[in-house]
Amino acid sequence: MQERYEPKSIEPKWQQRWEEQGLFKLQGRGEKRYILEMFPYPSGKMHMGHVRNYLIGDVLARYYRARGFDVLHPMGWDALGLPAENAAIQDGRHPAERTRENVAHFRAEMKSVGYSYEWERELATSDPEYYRWNQWFFLKMREMGLVYRRWSRVNWCPGCATVIANEQVKDGLCERSGDPVVVRKMPQWAFRISRYSERLLQGLDTLTEWPERVTSMQRNWIGKSEGAEIVFKVDGSDAELKVFTTRADTLFGVTYVVVAPDHPLMPKLV
């Protein structure tokens, strides 16, 4: 027996054995469990944050296998979007070429760690055979009236040359590029989430193991609120201010209305 554990001389042998025997494939019998971690961005190489995150899911998958469950534990790559594109731009290469190389590196590193994935089910969101189904879903939702076009005020990052979410703005700066974020009015696709808000909120109540900050964030995104729109006429002007309130019964106690500096009516009011 070796006095010192040498992973490079021991682990490849057993990892090859696992692969040859299909140890982590879905067996098609017994009670099922589906374990899925968020797919990584293939914009670089693995770091210790990846190792920790995917280790948690792997421990859970192995735990259920040890208890006799038939476990589906796949892996894939979130290969579209800003991280992969920005990494390619920095290298002066085409994003598709850079992404394929990063996926190959990432896959080799994940296999060397020894995660128990069923690699035969691997996918990449940049694969046309994958995103054609995203497009299919989108078109179906549009047919059902769940998707529509509208003008919206959005956060625009000039460095990334794209719209970013509120959560990606830190003190007025883009968290990725550090550029000042500009509020623009642009045509955007929107989803009629309000049709499903009650079902979504009820579903959140069943996620008892989720952190409260995460479920609160989801509730805010769903944005269900019952109330009324009150129209205030501006003295000396033909402008009107619509104000939403959940307490219309307190209207007689209103002493002032606060208007945001970037409100579209502000040029008329000043």
The domain that holds 46 is classified in CATH as 3.40.50.620
Considering the domain architecture, whether residues 209 and 180 belong to the same structural domain is answered as: yes
The answer on 98 and 138 residing in a single domain is no
Asked if residues 46 and 104 have their Cβ atoms less than 8 Å apart, the reply is no
Q: What domain range includes position 252?
A: 228-269
Burial of residue 113, with CB atoms counted within 10 A of its CB: 0-12 exposed, 13-18 middle, 19 or more buried: middle
pLDDT digits (tens, 9 = 90+) for 114-154: 999 999 999 999 999 999 999 999 999 999 999 999 999 89
| pLDDT above 90: percentage of residues in the chain | 61
Mean pLDDT confidence for 23-50: 91
The answer on 120 and 212 residing in a single domain is no
User: Domain check: are 174 and 202 in the same one?
Assistant: yes
- In a shared domain, residues 16 and 122: yes
Asked whether residue 165 is assigned to any structural domain, the reply reads yes
Per-residue pLDDT at 1 exceeds 70: no
Structure tokens at 258: 């606060």
| Residue 26 shares a structural domain with residue 122 | yes
Amino acid identity at 66: A
Instruction: Check whether residue 176 and residue 87 sit in a common domain.
Output: no
In a domain, 1, yes or no: no
Q: Are residues 197 and 143 part of one domain?
A: yes
Based on the fold, state whether residues 21 and 34 are members of the same structural domain. Answer: yes
pLDDT tens by residue, 145-196: 999 999 998 999 998 888 998 889 999 999 988 999 999 999 999 999 889 8
d(CA 87, CA 50) in angstroms, rounded, equals 18
The length of the chain is: 270
Region of 222 on the Ramachandran plot (φ > 0 left; ψ -120 to 50 alpha; else beta) = alpha
Q: Which region holds residue 92: left if phi is over 0, alpha if psi is between -120 and 50, else beta?
A: left
Q: Number of folded domains in the chain?
A: 3
Residues 65 and 145 in one domain: no
Is residue 2, in this structure, part of any structural domain at all? no
Neighbours of 206 (CB within 10 A): 8
Mark whether 191 and 242 lie in a shared domain.
no
Q: What is the pLDDT of residues 65-119, one digit of tens each?
A: 999 999 999 999 999 877 778 778 888 889 899 999 999 999 999 999 999 999 9
Distance of CA 244 to the CA centre of its chain: 29
